[in-house]
Amino acid sequence: MAHELHDIAVSLAKEADARRQELVGARCIPPDLFKRASDGGLFRQLVARQLGGPGRTPAEWFATGVDMAEWEPSFAWVVTQGAGDMATYLAAG
């Protein structure tokens, strides 16, 4: 599962890079990319298995973000920040 999430993330980052003019023009992540990141489980990366998540380690999450950032940094930031926020919200709850 860890490799699958990484592959999904990098694939979407490559697509975001190819669509850079669209991202720049809209000044946001296109809704379809955001939804596919969500559907692919990228925002749940750090959710523990006991809570229904994949339970990726912080090192795996960080490496995925770095690999995404090589293609499209702003999209990588949105995904990694979103995953970190999700974990924080669940831990605080």
Domains of the chain by range and CATH?
Answer: 2-92 (1.10.540.10)
* pLDDT at residue 9, as a whole number: 96
3-state helix, strand, coil in the chain (%, to 5): 75, 0, 25
CA distance 80 to 50: 21
Higher-confidence residue of 47 and 1: namely 47
42: nearest Cα among 64, 23, 22:
64
- Residue 54's pLDDT is what? 92
Question: pTM for the complete prediction?
Answer: 0.88
- Asked if 30 and 78 count as a contact pair (C-beta separation under 8 A), the reply is no
